[in-house]
Amino acid sequence: MTDKYEAVIGLEVHVELKTKSKAFCHCATSFGAEPNTHVCPICLGMPGVLPVLNRQMVEYALMTALALNCRIADYCKFDRKNYFYPDLPKNYQISQYDLPIARSGSLVIETKNGQRAIGINRVHMEEDAGKLVHKGNIITTPYSLVDLNRAGTPLLEIVSEPDLRSPGEARVYMEQLRLILLYLGVSDCKMEEGSLRCDANISVRPQGQQQLGTKTEIKNLNSFRSLERALDYEITRQIEALAQGERIIQETRTWDEDRQVTMSMRSKEEAHDYRYFPDPDLPPLRIDRDWVERVRRSLPELPEQARRRLSEEYNLSRYDALLLTASKDILDFFDDCVARYPKPKVVANWITGDLARLLNQSKLEIGDCRVTPALLVGLLKLLDEGTISGKIAKAVLEEMFTTGEAPDKIVKDRRLIQISDESAVKAIVDEVIAGNPKVVEDFRNGKDKALGFLVGQVMKASKGKANPELVNRLLREELSRR
């Protein structure tokens, strides 16, 4: 039944900007402080105060908008969005309505059918609301507590076009957006702390139908996983309802993480009458070309630019490039290694292979692990010089990963130096040949695989230290001689 329908998804992403102070007052934005200790008359919504715009908020907004290929407005203003909710002390939120700072951008994502540009409808600046603490969830709680530390924190709302077609695509879009924001350094993007949040608009329609179905909006999506699961759930719910001849009601729903279901919060028609009007306290912004160009020149390398650089300059595959740009720290690690040791493909293989495996196993990020670019490069040089074999190098990397010791010290202390002395290797080769007459016979009868077995036996006998090339050569020589 599901494949008779198509899902249409758009995301509204809210991201807290990494400014030191709030959007319109001097209160600090730091996370995790005692409740209601970072508040002042301005962010508490007391009468008679005058909010003044934080310049850094505008700079971060411009950087983000440019990174998302948006058109920057030459004139924009702030508006008051009026509604009553306990986390909003002024009973209005300072936001941007009809003249946002930027419009019409795009973000390219990788889908299973190749790359696709997802439209960005708009980017606008606003202030965050406070935090509500419920006993249990919002529907069953007897009362709620309000902490206004977060009220007034600078926020960007990034609204996509309804271009996403599956929960998986929504997740990839969100991940790419997060990566861009992290490369820009405008937010720490911690979903678990709420500095990156997302609401999803979703509807379904029969395959091939142009007209959009009635949408619902899902809130409380605090992780990539809940985004994907809530969308999965909601798509199934809507399709089942339509199949039974029911009508979808346009409404806001909340994702219940414990029960893994979406629940109706309120009917949208009644609650949303925001009566926007220009905020008289905040003069408008004029953003001239010079300002935009200055910000454009200051932009750091973005993930997609880095991927292209890795492909073009180092001839790395798209796959490698994607893995190496998965975080700014991985990319910096890679670049640092390549600056010390100009064999990019070798470096890439070690980072995306053995090092990534160790990081995964111990659930560490590359920045937290004890292997530094200098240590990894030291290891690769030992390998190049023939001091250790590839197999030993893997073991040394594991040792480096746990102890953070230098590779040459590990090799010396644990006596791992490769045996390249011909007579020493030959002694082992002779022993192995003598001990495996049946396999030697097989080899002579044309079974090439038998050689591999013998090589393995020699390596095992030498505890992995014999030089593999030498082992191969000596074995062949000995076998052809006898």
Partner 1 sequence: MALTIEEVEHVARLARLNLPAEEKNMYAQQLSSILDFFTILNRLPTDGVEPLAHVLPLFNVMRADETGPSLPRDEAMANAPLAEDGQFKVPKIV
CB 254 within 8 Å of CB 219? yes
Minimum distance, C-beta of residue 25 to partner 1, in the bound complex (Å): 8
The verdict on 141 binding partner 1 (CB under 8 A) reads: yes
Subset of residues 282 to 301 that bind partner 1, contact rule: CB under 8 A: 282-286
User: Do residues 74 and 292 lie in contact, with contact meaning Cβ atoms separated by under 8 Å?
Assistant: no
- In DSSP notation, 73-128 reads PSEE--EEEE---TT-TTSEEEE--SS-SEEEEEEEEEETTEEEEEEEEEEEEEE-
Question: Quick one: which segment of 76-84, 112-120, 121-129, 401-409 binds partner 1 (CB under 8 A)?
Answer: 76-84
Our CB check for partner 1 shows the closer of 275 and 460 to be 275
Token pair 């209160």 is at which residue?
27
CB of 288 to partner 1, least distance (A): 10
Contact pattern from residue 244 through residue 283 relative to partner 1, giving x for each residue in contact according to CB under 8 A and a dash for the rest:
---------------------xx------x-x--x-x-xx
Tell me which amino acid residue 436 is.
N
Closer to partner 1 by Cβ: residue 135 or 444: 135
Cβ distance 440 to 455 under 8 Å? no
Q: How far is the CB of 61 from partner 1 (least distance, A)?
A: 12
**430 HSE (CA, 13 A, CB side):** 6
Kindly provide the b/e burial profile for residues 367-385, where b requires at least 16 CB atoms within 10 angstroms of the residue's own CB: eebebebebbbbbbebbee
Q: Which amino acid is at 175?
A: E
Rounded distance between C-alpha atoms, residue 57 and residue 66, angstroms: 14
First vs last C-alpha separation in the chain: 70
Please identify which residue in 132, 189, 356, 417 interacts with partner 1, judged by CB under 8 A. Answer: 132
* Options 3, 112, 136, 143; binder of partner 1; rule CB under 8 A: 143
When asked if residue 117 is in the footprint of partner 1 (CB under 8 A), the reply is: no
State both tokens at 293: 């160009």
Contact positions with partner 1 (CB under 8 A) in 13-52 = 19-21, 26-28, 34-41, 44, 52
Could you say which of 1, 47, 48, 55 contacts partner 1 (CB under 8 A)? Answer: 55
Q: Are strands 75-76 and 216-221 parallel, antiparallel or unpaired?
A: unpaired
- Identify the CA nearest to 89 among candidates 147, 42, 44: 44
Q: Contact with partner 1 (CB under 8 A): which of 14, 31, 49, 53?
A: 53
Contact 70, 105 (CB under 8 A): yes
Please report whether residue 138 would count as binding partner 1 according to CB under 8 A. yes
Name the minimum Å distance from CB 63 to partner 1. 14
Question: Residue 80 interacts with partner 1 (CB under 8 A)?
Answer: no
Q: Looking only at residues 314 through 333 of this chain, which bind partner 1 when binding is defined by CB under 8 A?
A: none
Binding site for partner 1 (CB under 8 A): 19-21, 26-28, 34-41, 44, 52-58, 77, 82, 84-86, 132-133, 138-139, 141-148, 265-266, 273, 275, 278, 280, 282-286
